[in-house]
């Protein structure tokens, strides 16, 4: 064992202890997969990351570091809050990117770009990985609705989303419906396992959102909106346009995630493509569990969706591993 630099950071918040915590081991060199998994289980956080030098091939493509991401039970190919949190910790620890305006992270899903340009007022934002999505069977939508404790009529749209993690998205009829959910976690775990997906996220437009009426429009009108979305208000943490909750199986049962970058990334790609959300908005997540998470979404002129958020360091020191 040796002393290794370590940070614990809070992600998707600018106030410590109101976001999603992440443990970051800033030098994972020489640790086996089993040792990483054991430590991640010990931290008992939703995710723990280990920073390593990039592989030669990835370095040649511009990667600044490699990260491995673990829940308490398994390794993940990609996750959003570990991406932003690890980048924050790496930069704060003295990491210097090859390109001053863009950090490039290597992970199991490939290379992920993390920008800190003016589009997010200095916040880091990662480029959402390529998304695979498809419709779910009516039976699965009904099973998820039943497990979440809502009527099928509360579900306005649904989609199976995969950007590394495989999860399911439901667009509900109102933010009140989202906030009032009381899932049956045992039943939900059975549905998720049977469908081979790791979690389910629910979202709804906030009252007064520029797109509140879109879910009542025809598919033709929605496609037209997606091609020519209206101007939207400036991105601000004070006026979220979407309320989000995410429930996932962390290996010891299903729980609610404070703030979920990977789900918000795939959710944004889906909703914007279908004309159900504007090209720029802020999502609120964690409200029901005492968290004030804010996820900042922006689709650029090239069609790339970026997912941004603040990060705050809560603990700095060393860990014996």
CA–CA gap between residue 139 and residue 136 (Å, rounded):
8
User: 76 near 70, Cβ under 8 Å?
Assistant: yes
Given 34, 35, 47, 75, which residue is catalytic? Answer: 47
Q: Are 131 and 160 in contact (CB under 8 A)?
A: no
Stated length of the chain: 321
The 3-class SS string of the chain reads CCEEEEEEEEECCCCCCCCEEEEEECCCCCCCHHHHHHHHHHHCCCCEEEEECCCHHHHHCCCCEEEEEECCCCEECCCHHHHHHHHHHHHHCCCCCCECCEEEEEECCEEEEEECCHHHCCCEEEECCCCEEECCCHHHHHHHHHHHCCCHHHEEEEEEEECCCEEEEEEECCHHHHHHCCCCHHHHHHHHHHHCCCEEEEEEECCCCCCHHHHHCCHHHHHHHHHCCCCCCCCCCCCCCEEEEEEEECCCCEEEECCCHHHHHHHHHHHHHCCCCCCEEEEEECHHHCCCEEEEEEECCCCCEEEEECEEEEEEEEEEC
Euclidean distance between CA atoms 127 and 123, whole angstroms: 13
Say if CB 97 and CB 276 are below 8 A apart.
no
Q: Is 47 an active-site residue? A: yes
Cα separation, 173 vs 232, in Å, equals: 21
- Catalytic positions, written as ranges: 47
């Amino acid at each position: 064992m040796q002393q290794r630099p370590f940070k614990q950071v809070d992600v998707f918040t600018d106030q410590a202890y109101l976001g999603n915590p992440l443990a970051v081991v800033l030098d994972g060199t020489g640790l086996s997969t089993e040792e990483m998994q054991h430590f991640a289980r010990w931290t008992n956080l939703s995710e723990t990351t280990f920073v390593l030098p990039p592989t030669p091939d990835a370095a040649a493509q511009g990667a600044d570091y490699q990260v491995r991401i673990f829940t308490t039970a398994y390794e993940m190919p990609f996750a959003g809050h570990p991406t932003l949190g690890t980048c924050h910790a790496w930069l704060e620890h003295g990491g210097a990117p090859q390109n001053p305006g863009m950090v490039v992270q290597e992970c199991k899903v490939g290379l992920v770009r993390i920008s800190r340009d003016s589009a997010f007022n200095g916040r880091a934002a990662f480029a959402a990985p390529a998304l695979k999505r498809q419709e779910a069977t009516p039976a699965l939508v009904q099973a998820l609705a039943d497990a979440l404790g809502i009527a099928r009529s509360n579900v306005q749209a649904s989609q199976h989303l995969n950007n590394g993690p495989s999860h399911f998205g439901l667009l509900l009829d109102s933010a009140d419906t989202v906030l009032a959910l009381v899932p049956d976690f045992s039943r939900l775990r059975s549905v998720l396992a049977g469908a081979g997906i790791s979690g389910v996220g629910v979202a709804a437009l906030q009252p007064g959102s520029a797109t509140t009426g879109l879910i009542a429009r025809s598919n033709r009108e929605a496609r037209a909106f997606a091609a020519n979305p209206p101007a939207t208000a400036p991105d601000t943490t004070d006026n979220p346009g979407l309320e989000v909750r995410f429930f996932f199986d962390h290996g010891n049962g299903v729980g609610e995630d404070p703030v979920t970058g990977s789900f918000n990334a795939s959710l944004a790609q889906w909703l914007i493509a279908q004309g159900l959300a504007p090209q720029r908005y802020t999502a609120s997540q964690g409200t029901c569990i005492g968290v004030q998470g804010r996820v900042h979404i922006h689709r650029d002129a090239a069609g790339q969706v970026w997912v941004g958020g603040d990060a705050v360091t809560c603990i700095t020191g060393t860990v014996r591993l």
